[in-house]
């Protein structure tokens, strides 16, 4: 199992999640956050980075990770500076996912 985490500009999560679902994700959790690096970026690079963020969390099988991430990067244009970040975390213990049997088989 892998956990895909994307932190993007506010208002972009819906488009990114839809692309992830089209690529094989079964669902996502989206919540809101506020970045703390805005003042440092403004001071050094003289550009505005929105502090309000959307955080997307997707749990998926390792075999689907690359395709889902690729779709998310394209939908969110995450290779462009200042648009967001995406990373994965290995899941070692998981309790409460109703379709867990699908992952164990």
Q: For the chain, how big is the Rg over CA atoms in Å?
A: 15
**Res 25 pLDDT > 70:** yes
**What's the mean pLDDT in 96-103?**
60
Where do the domains of the chain lie? 2-104
Please indicate whether residue 13 or residue 39 has the higher confidence score (pLDDT).
13
For the domain covering 2-104, report its CATH number.
3.30.70.120
23 in Cβ contact with 67 (< 8 Å): yes
User: Rounded to whole angstroms, how far apart are CA atoms 6 and 89?
Assistant: 11
Residue 38 backbone dihedrals phi, psi, to 5 degrees: -60, -45
Burial of 24 (0-12, 13-18, 19+ CB in 10 A): middle
Model confidence over 37-50: pLDDT tens digits?
A: 655 555 555 555 56
């Amino acid at each position: 199992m892998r956990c895909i985490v994307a932190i993007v500009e506010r208002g972009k999560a819906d488009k990114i999640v839809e692309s992830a679902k089209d690529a094989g994700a079964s669902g996502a959790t989206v919540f809101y956050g506020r970045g703390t690096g805005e003042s440092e970026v403004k001071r050094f690079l003289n550009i505005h980075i929105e502090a309000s963020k959307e955080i997307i969390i997707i749990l998926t099988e390792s075999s689907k990770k690359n395709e889902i991430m690729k779709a998310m990067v394209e939908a969110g244009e995450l290779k462009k500076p200042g648009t967001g970040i995406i990373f994965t975390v290995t899941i070692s213990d998981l309790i409460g996912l109703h379709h867990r049997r699908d992952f164990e088989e």
